[in-house]
Amino acid sequence: MTIKRLFVPITGAQLMVRRVGEGPPVVLMHPSPQSSTFSIPMANKLAAAGFTAIAVDTPGYGLSDPLVGGYPAGLDRDHGLDPFLPPLVQLLDSLGIAKAAFYGNATGAEVAHIFAYNHPDRAAVAMMDTAGHNPDDEVDKITAGYFPDVTPRRDGGHLLTYWDMCHFLGIYAPWQFTDHEHRLQVDAPNPERTQRVMLEYMRAGPAYPTAYRPAFYTAKGHLISRLKVPATLTRWEGKPNLAEIDALIAYGLPLNITVLRPGPSMDQRFDASVDYLVKNYLKTGTPAPKHPDQIDRTAARLQKVFIDVPGGQVFARVCMAGRGRPILALHDPAGSSRRVESLLTPYVGDRPVIALDHPSSGESDKLLTREQISTEAYAKASWVALDSLGIKEIDIIGRYAGGQVGLEMAQQRQGAVKHIVHAGVQIFTDGERPDLLANYTPSIAPTWDGRHLMTAWGMMRDMALFWPWYNRTKSGIVRRDAAIDGNTVHARVEDLLKIGDAYQNAYAASFNYPMAERLKASTTPNLMADLPGAASYSRVAMAKAAAPNVQTADLPDDIRAWRGVFDKFFAS
C-alpha cells in the first residue's frame, strides 16, 4: 500500500489529502502549521489495520486552498474553528463518506472535536491526540508574540523571522518565551529539520495563524465535554506539557470520552488510537470512500492535480476545458509550475493547458536524485506524466531551460511535439560555460544560523538586477524596471528552497545542453522569443545565428499579451 497525494474538489476550491488503505474511513487532521505530512506515520498504521486513511491538509495549509471567502471577522473564541467545518463536510460529500472517524493532533484534535460536536451525524468517533484545557488568560500569555508577521519584505528579513520561529520551536515552549523555566531540555533542532518546518510555514504563508490561533482557545473543558459522539483523549506520556491535559481530565469528562494512556514512544502513542479504532470502529463495516476525479474537467480554471507515475507522483496545474491541442508549459531550473502559470492563463478555457513541476522540483516527489537530473530525464518524466493524462500531441511553451526540455521531448517522440516556444532562450557559448558553472549556483543548503536564506534571497533578487546575477558591476546592470518586491522574490526563493542544492545540477544540465546543435537538428518549429529589454534578449539572435531554421519574435512588456505572439507561431 502506497500513500498518495490527491486533490479533492469542494465548493470553489481544492483540498489536498493523503490517502492510503482500503476500509472504513478515518480522517486525520494535523497540527499547526504543518500539513498532512505529519500524519503519514499514523495513516500508514491505520491502513495496515484495515482502514482508509484520509489525511487532510487543513484549508490554507499544505497544498489545500485557503477558506473560500477568507476567514470571517468577529468570531468569538468558542467558534474560532467553525469556518473550517463546511470545507470538511464538503470533503466527506465529495468522497461519498456518510460518516467517518476523526483523528487529530493538537490543532487537528481541536478541529476534530469541534467538527464532531457540530456534525454528530458525520463523525463516528472524535479522537483527540492530544488536547488540553487552558484558561483564556493563560492562552493570552502564550499567544502574545507567538505569531510574528512574516509578510514578505523587500530585504528578505522575513525569512529570518520564519527561521527564528521554526528554530526556537525546538528550544523553548512556547517558542518566543526566553526564561529558563520554559527552555526545552533537548538538543537544538538541526538545520534540515528547521528548514522542513519552515517550508510548511511558507506554504501557509502570512496567514499561518488562521487555524493555529483559534485552536489555542478551543482547548477548553466546556467545549470538549459537550461532545455527544464517542470520543477519545490521548494522555501520551511523551508529551512535554502533561499538565494541560491533566487539567482537561480534571475538568471532568463525560463517559463517552475514553482517556487513552499510552507510554512515551511515538509508536505507543499512535498504536493506542489504532487499537481503539480496531476495537470500536473497524467492525462497523463503514464502506471505503469513493475515488472522485481530482479536477473538474469542464471547469475553465487552472486546478492542481497529482499525476501518478512509476515510483511516485508529479504535481501539475491543469485546465482540461477547451478544444484543440493541449499546451504544456515547462519551468526553469529553480522554479515550479507556479512560475509558468501566467503564460497559460490567457489560454484557460480555450485550449487544454498543463504546467508540470519537474520531478524533485516544487511539489513533485523526489523521483530524480541530484545526479539523475538532466534535460533528458526531465523530458522523459514529462512524457510519463502526459501519458498518464492520456495526452499524445502537444505544443510547448518553455521558460528558459524549459525550452530545452521541450526540445528533448520532441526528440524523444518524433512528431508528438508540434511547436516549441522558447520564452527566454537558454543558449551559451563554450566561453561562457565555465564561469556560469563555477558561480551561478552557490550552495543554499540549510545552515545553523539561517544565512543560506540570505544567500538564496540575494541571488534571486540580483537575478532581476544583473546578468549574470553575480556580476554586480556596471557591466552587469540589467537596465529595466526590476521585479524585486518582496512577494516576487519570495515566490522564487520558496521554489528554490524546495529543490534545494539539486538546483545546481538542474542549472548545470541547462548550461551544458548542446542547444545550437539540437536546434539545428530539430524538425519541430522553434520560436525564440524574449523581451527586448531583457538581459537574455541577445540570446534570441545567438540562437538564430546558430540555427537559421528557428523563428524569432519580440515579446511585449505585458505578459498577458504574449499569447498574440505565440498564437501566430502555433498557427504556422
Partner 1 sequence: MPAPITKHFLPLADGRQIHYRRAGSGPPLIIMHPSPNSSASMINAINAFSDAFTCLAIDTPGYGISDDFVDDPDMLWGYADALAKFLDGLGIEKSFVYGAATGAQIGIQFARKYPARIHAFLLDGNGDFTGDLDIAPGYFQDVTPVRDGSHLIRIWDMCRQLGVFFPWQSMRGADRVNTDVGSPEGIQRAVNDYLRAGPGYKKGYYEAMRVEKWEYTRQVTVPVFMARNESSVLFKYTQALIDKGLPVNFTVLNCDSRTRYPMQLTALKGWIGDRTFPAPKPSPADTSATSRMQNMYVKARGGFLRARANLTGKGRPIVALHDPAGSSLLVEPMLVPWIGKRPVIALDLPGNGESDNVIEPANITSAAYAAIVNDALAGAGIDQSDVIGRYSGGPVAMEMSFAKPSLVKHLALSGIGAYEAAEQKTLLDNYTPSVAPVWDGSHLATAWAMMRDQGLYWPWFNRTRGGIVPSANGIDVATIHLRVTELLKVGDQYQKAYAAMWTYPMRERLPKVAAPTLVCMPAWDPIYAKMAECKAFAPKVGTADLPAKMADWHAVIDPFFAT
Residues of this chain that bind partner 1 (CB under 8 A): 148, 153-158, 160-161, 163-165, 171-172, 176, 178-180, 183, 185-188, 448-455, 457-459, 465, 470, 472-474, 477, 479-485, 533
Least gap, CB of 480 to partner 1 (angstroms)? 4
Q: Which C-beta is closer to partner 1: that of 158 or that of 317?
A: 158
Q: Which C-beta is closer to partner 1: that of 222 or that of 474?
A: 474
CA distance linking residue 108 with residue 291, whole number of Å: 24
Strand segments, DSSP code E, in 137-248 are: 231-234
Least gap, CB of 466 to partner 1 (angstroms)? 8
Cβ contacts of residue 126 below 8 Å, gap of 6+?
102, 112, 113, 115, 116, 227, 229, 230, 231, 232
Check: CB of residue 101 under 8 Å from CB of residue 277. yes
Please provide the DSSP assignment of 256-280 as one string. Answer: TEEEE---SSHHHHHHHHHHHHHHH
Element (H, E) at 420: strand 417-423
Sign of the dihedral through C-alpha 30, 31, 32, 36: negative
Check: CB of residue 256 under 8 Å from CB of residue 227. yes
Least gap, CB of 198 to partner 1 (angstroms)? 12
Least gap, CB of 523 to partner 1 (angstroms)? 40
Check: CB of residue 105 under 8 Å from CB of residue 130. yes
Q: Which C-beta is closer to partner 1: that of 267 or that of 449?
A: 449
**Total count of residues recorded for the chain:** 572
CA distance linking residue 434 with residue 30, whole number of Å: 47
Q: Which C-beta is closer to partner 1: that of 185 or that of 572?
A: 185
Q: Which C-beta is closer to partner 1: that of 164 or that of 296?
A: 164
Q: In what order do the strands lie in the sheet with 100-104?
A: 4-10, 13-20, 52-56, 25-29, 100-104, 123-128, 231-234, 257-260
Least gap, CB of 317 to partner 1 (angstroms)? 28
Strand partners, 52: 25
Strand segments, DSSP code E, in 134-223 are: none
Q: Which C-beta is closer to partner 1: that of 185 or that of 414?
A: 185
Q: Which C-beta is closer to partner 1: that of 264 or that of 533?
A: 533
Q: Which C-beta is closer to partner 1: that of 167 or that of 358?
A: 167
Q: Which C-beta is closer to partner 1: that of 150 or that of 348?
A: 150
Amino acid 6 reads L
- Helices 502-512 and 401-412: angle between axes, nearest 10 degrees: 70
